[in-house]
Structure 1
Amino acid sequence: MRPLESAEARAASRPIFEKIYGDYNRRIYVSPDPLQFLYGYESAADREVVGLIASALAYGRVAQILRSVRRVLEALGEHPAEYLKRSGRGEYEEKLAGFVHRFTDCASICGFLGAIGGALREYGSLEKLFLSGWRGDIYGAMENFAGAMNAYAGCENSFLLPRPSKGSACKRMALYLRWMVRHDDVDPGGWREISPADLIVPLDTHLFNIASTLGLCSLKSANGRAAAEITENFRELCAEDPVKYDFSLTRYGIREEMTVEELFEKWHCGRGR
């Protein structure tokens, strides 16, 4: 791990990040990624439901993630928000009999879908549920959202929606918020009341290793504290949109034609090293 760089050094690196963003923050670089499922829904109401399902299942091997998300969405039909709002658990439980995605079985995913339906019936949208816990603090709103969804599902804690209070980076919920709040060539947006400036990076081991090597993180674990530190360092580069560079940076090492070594080479060349 490299030592944490100074604010001045990070600021001088912004042109490199902007070049990477301009080159790779494009829809052609999305697949294979569960984000691709959101593009098939014009309605923000459906997109927020699909996004929550796709992000919650975004753990494990990507091929398995895509298969699992596709199976759930096929069970919900063309308009998943309306379907879950009006359907009882027994209806989709029958369609999803035998479902398994690593730690998530049929009972777990159906409880999660039931929670989405409950939230939609009470609040009208997942965005309004999220905003019900908004006090200007993204972590507090995430905690409230996870707690409310778990209550709808009839459980205290759920692997599908980790809580910031447990120390987790909450990568999948942060990813969901990025998809729903930001709007550019990659992130489709749909939520209008939260600013991209308030988001935190969706931190997993891959981004943690990249950020650590680039001198953007001083910690040794990809936890909630590391996510906060990396976000603050990106905020110095782009205060209005600190997660702007997340997608383009993480293409390196995910897409076969884009290696992490290539990223580091571009980084050093761009800084004249």
Structure 2
Amino acid sequence: MNAADLEALYRKYNRRRYVRPDPLECVYDYPDIKDREIAAFVAAALAYGQVGQIVKSVRMVLDKMGPSPRSYLENSGIDHLYADFDGFVHRFATGRHVAAMLAGLKGVVDRYGSLEQAFDQGTGPKDVTYAPALGAFVSEMARYWPENPGHLVAVPEKGSACKRLFLFLRWMVRCDDVDPGGWELMRPAKLVIPLDVHMYRVCCQLGLTDRRQANLKTAMDITAGFAQMVPHDPVRYDFVLTRPGIRGPW
């Protein structure tokens, strides 16, 4: 499969009607960017496991937050967060993990005004990708955690591919028929491929990496390969290449 084949795949299948089932479908419900960025972070954080259960868990959390996740965070103290999500379970994540994560998001929003502004603060002019900024963003979130949110929020410094965090960035920075976008301070050219086992196997078959682990170094390697095809948008084909692993063959 060459660049022309990938572009043909994108033009044919990069459509919103092919999104479901996916946690991204929950993000479309928020026209206000200040609500959408919080909903998207929640949806991406819970995006592991069986897709039907993922969507169910994301809906449960967002329903608890009401029509405006931003207002919910602004008006919720830590005790309120723990009480609201008491009893929640999504695979390895408990309500305490969710509450801790939301407390981190609340702290960031209270300080910077939005998640976008906070992320932009960690972006260096010489950074080739947003990987360093992502590490800075997670470190800033950690300042407000009452306890560790577990694997809901990956730590880039540990070498994780940070698939769900880079997925969140893809949703917020890109804007097309699938990705809703909304962030205006960042550029798609610096995004990193959200790498999971399925995407790793696909990219190995495409000859984009010969590394043996699906970690951050491999994600950067693959992103560099896609950037040779589409310098301005290296994650352009992420949706269409991963969709068959969720929905089955096109």
State if a TM-score over 0.5 links the two structures: yes
2:156 corresponds to: 164
Asked if structure 1 preserves the Cα contact closer than 8 Å seen for 2:173 and 2:182, the reply is: yes
Runs of 5+ in structure 2 lacking a partner? Answer: none
Q: Distance in 2 between matches of 1:69 and 1:253?
A: 20
CA contact (8 A) 2:46 2:58 kept: yes
Aligned equivalents of 1:76, 1:227: Cα separation in 2: 33
Q: Computing the radius of gyration over CA atoms, which structure comes out larger, 1 or 2?
A: 1
Matched letter for residue 142 of structure 1:
L
Match of 2:7 in 1: 18
Residue 151 in structure 1 maps to residue 143 in structure 2: yes
Alignment match of 1:239 (pick from 217, 223, 231) = 231
Partner amino acid, structure 1, of 2:166: A
What do the CA deviations read for 1:142-172 (whole angstroms, capped 9, x no partner)? 1111111122114467412212211111100
Question: Is 2:23 the partner of 1:34?
Answer: yes
Q: Which residue in 2 is equivalent to 1:193?
A: 185
What amino acid is aligned across from residue 147 of structure 1 in structure 2?
Answer: S
Match of 2:64? Answer: 75
Q: Distance in 1 between matches of 2:216 and 2:160?
A: 5
Residue number among 111, 117, 131 corresponding to 1:122 in the alignment: 111
CA contact (8 A) 2:103 2:146 kept: no
Structure 2 equivalent of residue 216 of structure 1 = 208
Once structures 1 and 2 are overlaid, which stretch shifts more, 211-220 or 152-161? Answer: 152-161
Amino acid at match of 1:171: K
* Count of aligned residue pairs for this structure pair: 247
| Larger RCO: 1 or 2 (CA < 8 Å, sep 6+) | 1
**Alpha-carbon contact 1:150-1:158 (below 8 Å) kept:** no
- Please report the TM-score for the alignment, with normalisation by the length of structure 2: 0.95
Please tell me the residue identity of whatever aligns with 1:185. D
Q: Return the offset for 1:105.
A: 0.7
Distance (whole Å) between structure 2 residues aligned to residue 155 and residue 194 of structure 1: 30
1:111-142 C-alpha deviation (Å, 9 max, x unpaired) = 11111111111111001111111113312111
The residue identity in structure 1 corresponding to 2:41 is L
Who is 1:49 aligned against? 38
Query: 65-74 or 91-100, which moves further after superposition?
Result: 91-100
What fraction of aligned residue pairs are identical, expressed as a percent?
44
2:239 counterpart of 1:250: no
Q: Which moved more, 1:111-120 or 1:72-81?
A: 111-120
For 1:36 and 1:144, how far apart are their aligned partners in 2? 28
Unaligned ranges ≥5, structure 1: 1-9, 259-273
Once residues 208 and 130 of structure 1 are traced to their aligned partners in structure 2, the CA distance between those partners, rounded to angstroms, is 27
**Equivalent-residue separation in structure 2 for 1:165 and 1:257 (angstroms):** 35
Task: Indicate which of 93, 96, 109 corresponds to 1:104.
Answer: 93
Match for residue 135 of structure 1 among 110, 118, 124: 124
Contact 1:147 1:156 in 2 (8 A): no
- d(CA) in 2 for partners of 1:242, 1:232: 8
Check the 8 A contact 2:97/2:149 in 1, yes or no: no
Partner of 1:205: 197
Which residue is 1:60 aligned to?
Answer: 49
**Does 88-97 or 123-132 show the bigger shift?**
88-97
| Paired letter, 1:34 | P
Q: Describe the SS at the equivalent of 2:244.
A: coil
> Does the 8 Å CA contact 2:37/2:172 hold for their aligned counterparts?
yes
The alpha-carbon deviation at position 93 of structure 1 amounts to: 2.7
2: distance between equivalents of 1:78 and 1:90? 21
C-alpha separation between the residues in 2 aligned to 1:156 and 1:94? 17
Aligned residue identity for 2:152: L
1:93 aligns with 2:93: no
